[in-house]
Structure formats: structure tokens, C-alpha cells
Structure 1
Amino acid sequence: MTIRVLVVDDQAMVRAGFRLLLADEPDIEVVAEAGTGREAVAHAARLDPDVILMDIRMPELDGLEATRRILATGTSARVLILTTFDLDDYVFEALRAGASGFVLKDDPPEQLLAAVRTVAAGDALLSPSVTRRVIRHFTSERRQAPPPGVADLTTRELEVFGLITKGLSNAEIGRELFISDTTVKTHVTRLLQKLGLRDRAQAIVLAYQTGLFDAS
């Protein structure tokens, strides 16, 4: 299956670089480019890409608001935030907006390609170091009440949820709980459905906004 990508950045040279990199991959197709947030929203609505590489700082409409507007339509597209800093001031807001992960513009090419494939597969791209900073940020805020869906989670789903919040991959969760990767994926899918969440990134934010695993 081909991963359809929309590249969004206000610098034409940056867009061209990403297009050249992605075009060499047999399983990836760049369906369009956008230089502003408004263009990104329009292209996303018209083309329904699988992954959107989204710059934050852009004229007319920044990447945060563009992400909010795109994801508010109910699209299944995953937004991968492009940033020049390792966890800059916008990252937490991007998580709240529904972004599925982050990549640095100067990351090695293979890292960017892996990121596109990771979020296209429905996973979030949050490294353990990023996860730790997300935890620190959201635990410093006023707690919110957990959504009703938490009461519907099974014991095993709660165990998996707790390990997701620590930044563990499916394989690592499987080893921790002595279950297969496929079983882990099933549990993850079910708990996200019950909680009305898009992916792991939103699950991690929810857990620490509500203090769900504070006693763990």
C-alpha cells in the first residue's frame, strides 16, 4: 500500500528536499505541497493524504491551527510535526491539537522515512526522552477528570495503557506482559476506541492530564 504524503513548509527549498527524499521510496508518494497553513487545510480536504509533514511557523495560518482544522474534520490523516528544535515551545500544543509525532528538520533521511512509515501505520512517534518531558509538562498542570471510557477498559487494557505512557513500543509491551505483538496491537486498538483517541500520543497526553497512573 502506498503512503500518500502532503508536505507543508513555507520554504520552497525545504519542500523540494523532502519531495526528492520521499520520491525515491517505492511505498511513498508525495501528493502535494503547501507553503501556508491555509493551503495545507485545502489540500488535506481535497486529497485526504495518509501523512501530513507539517511545519509549525508559517504565514497566514500556522501549523498548529492548520493541524486543528484538518483533524477536526474527522480525517484519518496523521500529522507529523516538522521542527527545528528538540521539543520547542509548540510541541505540547501540537500534541493537544492531535499531532502524532515530531521530527527534526535536520534528522538523518532514514529517520524521517521511518517516522512517516511509523505514523502511517497508526503509531505515534514519541521517543522516551520526549515522553519524559511530556510527562513533566502535563503533570504540572491542573488535573482533568478522566473520560467515561476509562471505566470500560479491561485490566489488561489498563496494563497496556500504563506501559504506553512510559513510551514502550508494542514489542516492549509484549515482552513486559508475556504476550504477542499482535495481541498488544489488539489491546491498543481497543483502548483507543473506547477512549475516543487517535493514537498513542493522545493516550499519553490524556493519561498525564488526568493523573490516571499517578499511583503506579
Structure 2
Amino acid sequence: MTQALRLVLADDHEVTRTGFVSLLAGHPQFDVVGQACNGQEAVELCEQLLPDLVILDIRMPVLNGLGAARLLQQRLPALKVVIFTMDDSPDHLEAAMNAGAVGYLLKDASRAEVIDALQRVAAGEEALNNAVSTRLLRRMTERNANGATTSCTNLTARECQVLGLVANGMSNREIGETLGITTGTAKAHVERVIGKLGAADRTQAAVRGIALGLVTQP
């Protein structure tokens, strides 16, 4: 049997921590090995226990979740960080991504959604709340259209074009028509872009691409 992934959970509300532990109770893939009530305690626990994942609330005393995420990225770069919050602000999602978080979940998510997200993170993917990431994507696209300077060092020129069209909400068929290629070729380009960016889907690829400055305008 595959060994369960070890989690540290940080939230200043005991009821939330208890509920999260109960949510994962009995699931063979996850084991909550430590709990913290603030970000500083979470950092210290992670350094002591070396878990696979850490779940952080944003709003905590002493050190908030974003500050803890930044410290953990520096000290334990292999640790996967997931933000678990009531805050559906695109600003905080962007800040979380910049701090190294690979997951952003809202506390009203269902048990199935939480487990699916944690499984995706454990598999090396990102798990970002779709509604919040879509709003961030829209804002970043507007920002980029208003003159942000972009670079495209990690993708080919064609893949940058494709990513820009994905960020503008185009389907594979529309991308093919715009670039004068077949729908199948467009789909292949999109799949390569998603893979290179380590994203789970088109939306996450667009969010990450824009955040990293990889999007060129079509």
C-alpha cells in the first residue's frame, strides 16, 4: 500500500481545524500529523515534521498564511503549500501564487472538492478555485492588454501565441482559425503549453502564464 501523505494544518480557529481533520478522517491517502494556530507555529512544525503538504489559512495571528508560505518556500522548497480560506479575492490568489502556493481552496468547498484538490497537488499539479482564478485571469488579461511587458523564454514562439489566445478565452477551433492551423494541431499546442506550465487545465495555464509574464498578445 502507498504510504499516506503527511499534512500539517494551520488555522487559528480550532473548529475549522477539527472539521478539516474530520473531513479527511479515514481517507487512506492523507494523514494530518500536526496542527498549528498561527503561521509562525506552522513554519516551525513543518521544519520539525517535514510533511508532504501544508494547509494554511490566510488570516492568522503572529504570521499570516502568505508570510508563512513565503518562508516555507525559502526553507522547504519541496513542500507543497495549499491555501484554505474564506477569502475569494483575486488579489489574495495572486499573492498566494507569488508566495509559492500551488493550491487555493475556499472553505465552502465540498469534501470531494477538497480531496480532489489535494490529490492533484500531491500529483504535482495546481489546484486553484475556478471562480477566483477566472476573475484573476480576466484582470491579468486586461492588465496585459494595457501595456504590460511580456517575455516568452519557456515556450516556443508558437506556444506563446497559443497561450495568449487561450488567455483570451478562445476554443481550439478558434485558435486554429486564427493561426491558420487545424483544430487538432491547435489542441496539441494547447496540451503542450499546459504540460510545460505544470497546469491542470486551460484556465490554470492561462493564469500561470500571465502571472509569469509568458503571454504575448495575438
TM value normalised by structure 1: 0.73
Match of 1:26, SS?
A: coil
2:87 match: 85
Q: CA, structure 1 residues 127+105, in 2 after alignment: closer, same or farther (shift >3 Å)?
A: closer
Match of 1:86, SS?
A: coil
AA aligned opposite 1:38: Q
Contact 1:160 1:188 in 2 (8 A): no
* Match for residue 115 of structure 1 among 112, 117, 123: 117
Contact 2:161 2:215 in 1 (8 A): no
1:50 match: 52
- 1:143 aligns to 2:143 (yes or no): no
Distance of 1:3 and 1:91 partners within structure 2: 24
Alignment identity in percent? 32
Distance of 1:98 and 1:50 partners within structure 2: 14
- 1:212 aligns to 2:215 (yes or no): yes
How far 1:87 sits from its partner (Å)? 3.0
Distance of 1:86 and 1:44 partners within structure 2: 26
**Equivalent residues, number:** 198
| Residues 176-211 of structure 1: CA deviation (Å, up to 9, x unaligned) | 8555xxxx5x8655x34xxxxx76769734425636
Distance of 1:53 and 1:61 partners within structure 2: 14
1:170 match: none
How far 1:113 sits from its partner (Å)? 1.2
Greater C-alpha radius of gyration: 2
Contact 2:137 2:206 in 1 (8 A): no
AA aligned opposite 1:140: R
Match of 1:90, SS?
A: helix
Distance of 1:120 and 1:30 partners within structure 2: 14
Distance of 1:86 and 1:109 partners within structure 2: 18
TM value normalised by structure 2: 0.72
RMSD between aligned alpha carbons?
Answer: 3.5
Q: Which runs of 5+ in 1 are unaligned?
A: 168-174, 193-197
Distance of 2:6 and 2:54 partners within structure 1: 9
What does residue range 174-213 of structure 1 map to in structure 2 within 5 Å?
177=186, 184=191, 188=194, 191-192=196-197, 204-208=207-211, 210=213, 212-213=215-216
